[in-house]
Structure 1
Amino acid sequence: MDSLNLIKNDPWLEPYKTDIEHRFQLSVSKEKELAGKGKSLSDFADGYLYFGLHKTEQGWVIREWAPNATDIFLIGNFSEWKENTKYRFSKLKNGVWELKLKTGEIKHLDLYKLSMHWNGGHGERIPAWATRVVQDKKTYIFSAQVWSPSRPYKFKKKKFKPQISPLLIYECHIGMAQEEERIGSYNEFREKILPRIAKDGYNAIQIMAIQEHPYYGSFGYHVSSFFAPSSRFGTPDELKQLIDEAHASGIAVIMDIVHSHAVKNEVEGLGRFDGSYNQFFYGDHRREHPAWDSLCFDYGKNEVIHFLLSNCKYWLEEFKFDGFRFDGVTSMLYYDHGLGKAFGSYNDYYDGGQDENAITYLTLANKLIHEVNPHAITIAEEMSGMPGLAAKTEDGGIGFDYRMAMGIPDFWIKIIKEKKDEEWNPSAIFWELTNRRSDEKTINYAESHDQALVGDKTIIFRLIDDQMYWHMMKNDTNMAVDRGMSLHKMIRLVTLSTINGGYLNFMGNEFGHPEWIDFPREGNGWSYKYARRQWSLVDRKDLKYEYLGNFDEAMIKLVKDVKHFEQSPIIKLWDNGGDQILAFMRKDLLFIFNFHPFKSFTDYGILAPKGSYKTVLNTDSYTFGGYGLIDESIEHFTIPDPLYKKEKKEWLRLYLPARSAQVLKLQKRK
C-alpha cells in the first residue's frame, strides 16, 4: 500500500512505517468486525437503546450484560428492597439478562438496584447502563432511579453548528460554579454563569464531572455510572435545558469524558459488576492503575468497546453535547500509562509498549463521533506527544480534532518559579508556544483546572501570592500586584495569540481568581470554602479583578473578530533576548511584547510590513489596570529603509513600556 499521509507529512516517521500502517489496519479490521456488512459504527453503538431501563407500550424492560451472573433480581422501594420472583431476570444469549414488567409495577422516581448472584457470592449493584443515579442525603447510599417524567424536556434548538474558528473554550465545573459554600446546580449555571461566558466572548464550554461519580472530591474523574449525568447538580432535563440555552447563545458544549479508567467501587461502580474481575477490566496485573487508584478497561473486548462507543453516542444523541475532551489519553496509549517516561525520541512511541487495543478504540471512537455528528469536536488530553493523535483517521492518525498543548502551562509554571523576570527569554517563549506538529491542531492554554488544584497555585497566585488578600483595591498601589497583573495579561495574550487551533481558560482564572481549588474532604473538615468561585470579586467596582476581567473580554473579542485567525501564519518580526522584546504578525495584527521588568524603550524599531498602524489592544491601558503610558490615539507610520526595500518592510518606531504588550492593526499598506 502507499504510505499514509501521516508518514508523508513527516519523513521522520518513515522508520516506523510498518507500525503505523499496522495500527491503521487494526482499526479498519475492527470496524468491519463490529459493524458487519451494510452497517455503520453508529448502528453498532446503539447499545444504550437496548440495554438499561426503557419504557415500552406494555410497561418496562431492563437488560444488562452480566456473563458471570447466575441469577439477577431487580430490587427497590417497590419490593421493599427484597428479592421477589416477580422481579427476577431471565437469561438470554451471550451473557445478557432481561426483565419485562407491566405498567404500574415501577414508576417515575422509584429507586432500584440489581441483586446480583454469582458462583460463590452475591451483592447489590447499580445497573451498568443506568441513566439516572441518586444519593440518599441521610445514608449517602447511591441507587438508580426511574426517570420518566410526564413532560420530558424537548430541545428548542433542534440543530446547532458550532462556530469555532477559533475555538475558545471556557472550562467549567457545575458544582463549584457558584459563590456559596455548597454544590451548585445546572439551573444556577444556566441562569447565572452562561450569560457571563457569552459576554466574555467564549464560543464553547467544556464541562467537567458530568458522569456520575461517588466521591465529589475526585473532580469527576472516578466515574461509577457512565450513562448517568451527575444528580448532585440536578436532573437530566435540567442538564438538557442548560445545553439548549448554551446553543441558543451560540456556545458549543463539550463534555469532559472519562474512558481512560473507572472507579474501583463495586456497589456503585463496575468493579466486580457480575462478580468477576475481568468483565469490563483487565483481569491480570494491568487491572489497577498504579497512580490513580482506579481500574483500567480491557479495550480488547468487543463488549467493552460496545459499552464505550455507545456511551459516546448516547451523550451526543440524548443530550446534544457537541463533542468530548477525552481525559487521560496518555494513560490509555501505553501499557505503563506513560508514567516515568521521558518521550525524548520517536522510538518511545513505537517501542512495543503501546496498547494497540486502546489505540484502536480511540480511533473508532473518533470515527463514530464524527459519523454521528460531522460538526462534533474531539480533544485529546495527552502529554507524551504521540504523532498523529490529532490527524485524520484516513491519514493514519487517531482522529482527534485537537490535542491539548500540555507543555505550555508547565512551561509557564517553570519560568515563573525558576527564572528571574530579567531572565525571561522571548525566543524561548515563542518557541514553546509554537512548537507543534504542523498537521495537528492544538489547544493552547496558560492554565486549566489542573494548575489550580490544592498543593499547586494559579498563575496569579504564584505571581502575587498573599498580597492579593490586602492590596487588590483600586486605590491601593502595590508593586507585587502591579507586576502580577501585568504578567498575567501578557502571559494570556501571548498564549492566545499563538494558537493554531483553540484556546482554553478555566472559569474564574480570566479575572485572576485567588487561591486554589480544594474539594470537601476529611483533611479540610469537608469544607466547600475552596470549591466555589467568588464572582463578587470581579463584579465589585472597587477591586482590580475587574481590570483583568475587562482585559480577557477585550483579548477574546480581538481574536474572535478575525476570521480564521488560528489558521493564519505566525510571522516573527523581532526578538531580542537582551531587550526582552518579541514581535510577530498574524494577518493585519502586530503583537509586540516587552517582557523586561524595568526597561521602557522610546522609538524602538521593529521591521514590519510598510503602512500605517493603530493600537487596538494595550495591556497598559487604565481600563485594564495599567499605567496608561501609551497614547492609543496616535497613528503610527512606517519609515523607509533602503536596505529593506525589496522585502517591503520598513521601520516602525514605537514606545514600549516595561512589562507590557500592545497589538497594532495595519490600517493601509503603502
Structure 2
Amino acid sequence: MVRDEPWLENFADKIWERHQGFKTALREIEEFSGNILEFSRIHEFYGVHFESWRNGWVYREWAPAAEQLYFFGDFNNWDRQSHPMKKSHRGDWEIFLPFDQYKNSFTHGSKVKVHVVGANGASDRIPAYIRRAVQDEKNHDFAGQLWFESKFEWTDQSYSPQDSLSQPLIYECHVGMAQESPKVGSYREFEENILPRIKEAGYNTIQLMAVMEHPYYGSFGYHISNFFASSSRFGTPEDLKSLVNKAHEMGIAVVMDIVHSHAIKNTNEGLNEFDGSDHQYFHAGPKGYHEGWDSKVFDYGKWEVKQFLLSNIRYWLEEFHFDGFRFDGVTSIMYQHHGLFMDFDNVDLYFDSQVDEQAIIYLKLANKLIHDFKKGSISIAEDVSGMPGLSRKIEDGGIGFDFRMAMGVPDFWIKTLKHKKDEEWDMFELWHELTNRPQNEKSITYAESHDQALVGDKTLAFRLMDKEMYFSMSVLEQNLVVDRGVALHKLIRMITFSLGGEGYLNFIGNEFGHPEWIDFPREGNDWSYQHARRQWSLADDPLLKYAQLNAWDQAMIQLATHDHVLSAPHARQLFLDPDKKIIAYERANLVFVFSFHPTESYSGFSVHVPKASSYQLILNSDDETFGGFNRIDSSIDYLVNEHQCIQLYIPSRTVQILRGTNKS
C-alpha cells in the first residue's frame, strides 16, 4: 500500500501497526475458536434454541452486570417472577424449558421478554439475539416473538454473485416505500411487483435498506433495535428469504444495508443498558453516545461485542443468503469524533489519536469473515473521510472492503446546481471531482442516493425542474425549464456513471426523475404516506417524459452490461474545452463526448480519438426516444482523418457515445 501510494511513507509505521493489530486479534480468535467462521456462530448459542438431546428449549443471554434475569411471556401468562434464570461465571444466564411441559404454551408465534434486574433498576427487555420482534397494535409495545418456522426451500444453489462483484450496477431500494399505494409495502409485494422492474432495467444488484428491525419507521432503518430480526412490518422471515431467492433466480445479487455504526438508545426495544450498566455493548459515559445521531456507539474492542457483531454478519449471510453488505456510517465507526464537523483536509487525521484503532481492526475482521464465508461476496463502505486503503485488500495493508462509496460526487452535483448558473459550470472541476479517486481502490459512484432525496432536500430532477414537474412533463408540450432539466438529468447521470467509479448506484425511482422528496409518516405531516411511496405510473405512461428518462437509464445500464464500462480501467481524457464546455474521453474502447453548453451547438467539431479507422454512434441523449430533439444523425460513419480526429456535430446539452470500427 505504501509502495503504491508514496504520500503515505511517513505513516508506514502506523499502517504496519494497524496490520499487526489485526493479525493479533485474528490469532486470538483462531486460538479460541479455530477460525473466524466458528467464532462467528455465537448466535447459535445465545437466544432461544431447541436442543434435541435434552428434548426442550434453552434460552441464553449474556448480561454480566445483571443481578437477576427472569424469562416470561405468553408461555407463563407474563409472570415476571416464575421463571428465574441461572448465571454462569462468564456472565451468561440460562433457562431450560422441557418440551413435554411447555409444548402447548411455548409455541410458534407466541411472545416473550426477559425481565432484567440490574443497577439501573428492573425492566422488561427483548432478548438480544431474538430472531423476530413484533409491535402490539394497541399499546405499540415491542416484544420478541418465537419463530419456529419450517425449513425454507432454497432454489438458488447455482447462483453466484461474481458478475455483480466485477461490475456492480446497484439498485438501492426500501421495501416499505416501494409500492405506489400510500402504505407500507411488503417483502412479497416487492418480490412480485418490483423485482421484475429491476430485472427489466438491467441492474445486477439490489441494495436493501431497513432490513434489520427498527421501532421507528421514519428512521429509514438506521436506528436498529434488534440486530438478528428482519423487520416484521414488511412480512415474515420466509417472505424475505423468498425475495432473496427470487432475486437470485433472476440473476440479481442482494446486498444488505447493515448498520453496525451505532444502535438505538431506547432501553425498551434495544441493547442500551441491557444488563443494568452503560458499558455492556457500548462505550461507557459520553464516549458511548453519538451526539449527531442521538444513539449508542459500540465498543468494538470488547471481545463479546466483536463476537456479537461478527455473528450478526454470518447470520445474515447464512440464514438469508445475502450476497454482502453496504456498511452504513463507516466514518463514524473509524473515528472517535465520528467525522462530525471534520473536513479531513490533512493526512495526519487518518492516523492520529482520534482514530479508533479497535474499530479499524473490527472492520478488517468483518471483511475477512464476509469473504471467507462466501466467495464473491460484496462489501461496500460508506465513508466521507477518504481513509487510505479502505477498499484495498487486508494483506496489502488495507481495511478489506471491495468498494467505497464516492460520497463526494452527489455533494458536488448539489453544490453545482444550487450555486452556479449553467454558464458558470467548471469543466476542469467536473473532471477532477469524477476522476480524483485512488487508482488502486474501487468506488461506487452515484449522482444521488436516498440521502439526497430526503425531506428538506430535493432529488436531482426536482432540483432541476421544481414545480414544472407537476404541470409540464407531457411529451406533447414544450417547456424550457423541463427541456433543460431533462437534458441535464441525462448528462449528469451518464457522466457520473461512465467516469466516476467501478460500480454505479441508483436510488429506487430516481432513474426516471421521481418528483419531490422522501418523507415518512410522522406527526409533522399528519402521518401521511404521500411521500413514502414510488409513483411507477409516471414512468409507465408513454405520454410523460418520465418514461423517456426511464428509457435513457435502461440504455445506460445496457451499455454498461454490454461493454463492461465500469470494469474497464479509468477513463482517458481526449479533449476538454472550458469555454465551449465540451469534455471527451475514452473508456472501455468507447468514446464519450459531452457538451454542457446551455446554448451553443458546434458543427464539424474535431475530437481526437484512439486508433480506429472509423466510429459509429451507438447512443446519444438527443434521440427523441430519450426526450431529445433528434438533431444528430445516427446513421453516419465518422471516418478518422490524418490527425487522428473525427468531425462531429455537437448540439448543446448532449452526450454522444461512439464505438470504433475497422471499416474503411
The interval holding the TM-score normalised by the smaller chain is over 0.9
SS at match of 1:454: coil
Matched, 1:582 2:583: yes
Q: Which residue of 2 aligns with 1:64?
A: 61
Selected match of 1:82 from 79, 82, 100: 79
**Counterpart-to-counterpart distance in 2, 1:35 and 1:81:** 42
Q: Which residue of 2 aligns with 1:108?
A: 108
**Counterpart-to-counterpart distance in 1, 2:151 and 2:113:** 23
Q: Which residue of 2 aligns with 1:421?
A: 422
Q: Which residue of 1 aligns with 2:93?
A: 97
User: Does the Cα contact within 8 Å between 1:446 and 1:492 map onto a contact in 2?
Assistant: yes
Q: Which residue of 2 aligns with 1:31?
A: 26
Q: Which residue of 2 aligns with 1:644?
A: none
**Counterpart-to-counterpart distance in 2, 1:536 and 1:245:** 24
**Counterpart-to-counterpart distance in 2, 1:389 and 1:183:** 36
**Counterpart-to-counterpart distance in 2, 1:178 and 1:96:** 44
Q: Which residue of 2 aligns with 1:645?
A: none
**Counterpart-to-counterpart distance in 2, 1:93 and 1:617:** 69
**Counterpart-to-counterpart distance in 1, 2:93 and 2:33:** 28
User: Does the Cα contact within 8 Å between 2:503 and 2:566 map onto a contact in 1?
Assistant: no
Q: Which residue of 2 aligns with 1:409?
A: 410
Q: What displacement does 1:348 show?
A: 1.6
The residue type equivalent to 2:142 in the other structure is F
**Counterpart-to-counterpart distance in 2, 1:172 and 1:37:** 39
Q: What displacement does 1:35 show?
A: 2.4
Q: Which residue of 2 aligns with 1:55?
A: 50
Paired residues, what number?
655
Q: How does 1:194-593 map to 2 (within 5 A)?
A: 194-563=195-564, 565-593=566-594
1:465-523: per-residue Cα shift (whole Å, max 9, x none)? Answer: 00100001111210000100000000000011114420000000000000000111111
Q: What displacement does 1:67 show?
A: 0.6
1:598-619: per-residue Cα shift (whole Å, max 9, x none)? Answer: 0011111111124211111111
User: Does the Cα contact within 8 Å between 1:500 and 1:567 map onto a contact in 2?
Assistant: no
Q: Which residue of 1 aligns with 2:154?
A: 155
1:215-271: per-residue Cα shift (whole Å, max 9, x none)? Answer: 110000000000000001000000000000000111000000000000000010011
SS at match of 2:358: helix
User: Does the Cα contact within 8 Å between 2:120 and 2:277 map onto a contact in 1?
Assistant: no
**Counterpart-to-counterpart distance in 1, 2:8 and 2:589:** 36
User: Does the Cα contact within 8 Å between 2:33 and 2:39 map onto a contact in 1?
Assistant: no
**Counterpart-to-counterpart distance in 1, 2:331 and 2:259:** 12
SS at match of 1:170: strand
The residue type equivalent to 2:128 in the other structure is A
Identity of aligned residues (%): 50
User: Does the Cα contact within 8 Å between 2:244 and 2:254 map onto a contact in 1?
Assistant: yes
Q: What displacement does 1:568 show?
A: 2.7
**Counterpart-to-counterpart distance in 2, 1:665 and 1:596:** 24
SS at match of 1:566: coil
What stretches of structure 1 move > 2 A for 4+ residues in a row? 563-569
Cα–Cα, structure 1 residues 91 and 621, in superposed 2: closer, same or farther, change >3 Å? same
Cα–Cα, structure 1 residues 389 and 622, in superposed 2: closer, same or farther, change >3 Å? same
**Counterpart-to-counterpart distance in 2, 1:667 and 1:93:** 74
Q: What displacement does 1:341 show?
A: 1.5
**Counterpart-to-counterpart distance in 1, 2:32 and 2:184:** 48
Q: How does 1:569-648 map to 2 (within 5 A)?
A: 569-609=570-610, 610-641=612-643
**Counterpart-to-counterpart distance in 2, 1:108 and 1:329:** 37
Q: What displacement does 1:38 show?
A: 7.4
User: Does the Cα contact within 8 Å between 1:152 and 1:237 map onto a contact in 2?
Assistant: no
User: Does the Cα contact within 8 Å between 2:621 and 2:654 map onto a contact in 1?
Assistant: yes
User: Does the Cα contact within 8 Å between 1:580 and 1:596 map onto a contact in 2?
Assistant: yes
1:262-299: per-residue Cα shift (whole Å, max 9, x none)? Answer: 00000100111111111001112211101100000011
Q: Which residue of 1 aligns with 2:653?
A: 659
**Counterpart-to-counterpart distance in 2, 1:136 and 1:616:** 56
User: Does the Cα contact within 8 Å between 1:74 and 1:113 map onto a contact in 2?
Assistant: yes
SS at match of 1:8: coil
SS at match of 2:57: strand
User: Does the Cα contact within 8 Å between 1:69 and 1:117 map onto a contact in 2?
Assistant: yes
The residue type equivalent to 1:624 in the other structure is F
The residue type equivalent to 1:98 in the other structure is E
User: Does the Cα contact within 8 Å between 1:209 and 1:219 map onto a contact in 2?
Assistant: yes
The residue type equivalent to 2:346 in the other structure is S
**Counterpart-to-counterpart distance in 2, 1:171 and 1:148:** 31
**Counterpart-to-counterpart distance in 1, 2:477 and 2:47:** 60
Q: How does 1:115-126 map to 2 (within 5 A)?
A: 115-119=115-119, 121-126=121-126
1:58-108: per-residue Cα shift (whole Å, max 9, x none)? Answer: 1211111011112211111222211253x3222123111111112204010
**Counterpart-to-counterpart distance in 1, 2:172 and 2:385:** 22
1:539-573: per-residue Cα shift (whole Å, max 9, x none)? Answer: 11221100000000001001111246423341110
Cα–Cα, structure 1 residues 669 and 29, in superposed 2: closer, same or farther, change >3 Å? farther
Cα–Cα, structure 1 residues 669 and 348, in superposed 2: closer, same or farther, change >3 Å? farther
Q: What displacement does 1:455 show?
A: 0.3
Q: How does 1:127-142 map to 2 (within 5 A)?
A: 127-142=127-142
**Counterpart-to-counterpart distance in 1, 2:129 and 2:509:** 35
> 422-431 vs 183-192, which deviates more?
422-431
Cα–Cα, structure 1 residues 123 and 37, in superposed 2: closer, same or farther, change >3 Å? closer
User: Does the Cα contact within 8 Å between 2:223 and 2:264 map onto a contact in 1?
Assistant: yes
Selected match of 1:10 from 5, 13, 19: 5
SS at match of 1:573: strand
User: Does the Cα contact within 8 Å between 1:499 and 1:566 map onto a contact in 2?
Assistant: no
Q: What displacement does 1:41 show?
A: 0.7
**Counterpart-to-counterpart distance in 1, 2:662 and 2:136:** 66
SS at match of 1:63: strand
The residue type equivalent to 2:145 in the other structure is Q
Give the CA RMSD over aligned residues.
1.2
The residue type equivalent to 1:100 in the other structure is F
1:567-597: per-residue Cα shift (whole Å, max 9, x none)? Answer: 3341110000010000001132110000000
User: Does the Cα contact within 8 Å between 1:34 and 1:302 map onto a contact in 2?
Assistant: no
Cα–Cα, structure 1 residues 459 and 148, in superposed 2: closer, same or farther, change >3 Å? same
Question: 5+ residue gaps in structure 1?
Answer: 1-5, 642-649
Q: What displacement does 1:119 show?
A: 4.2
The residue type equivalent to 1:49 in the other structure is E
SS at match of 2:362: helix
Cα–Cα, structure 1 residues 405 and 233, in superposed 2: closer, same or farther, change >3 Å? same
User: Does the Cα contact within 8 Å between 1:113 and 1:144 map onto a contact in 2?
Assistant: yes
The residue type equivalent to 2:568 in the other structure is Q
**Counterpart-to-counterpart distance in 2, 1:37 and 1:142:** 36
Cα–Cα, structure 1 residues 658 and 94, in superposed 2: closer, same or farther, change >3 Å? same
SS at match of 1:664: strand
**Counterpart-to-counterpart distance in 1, 2:238 and 2:440:** 39
SS at match of 2:638: strand
1:401-460: per-residue Cα shift (whole Å, max 9, x none)? Answer: 000000000000011111111122222211111100111100000000000000001111
User: Does the Cα contact within 8 Å between 1:603 and 1:654 map onto a contact in 2?
Assistant: yes
> 398-407 vs 65-74, which deviates more?
65-74
Q: What displacement does 1:464 show?
A: 0.3
User: Does the Cα contact within 8 Å between 1:444 and 1:496 map onto a contact in 2?
Assistant: yes
> 587-596 vs 233-242, which deviates more?
587-596
> 612-621 vs 494-503, which deviates more?
494-503
Q: Which residue of 1 aligns with 2:144?
A: 144
Matched, 1:21 2:20: no
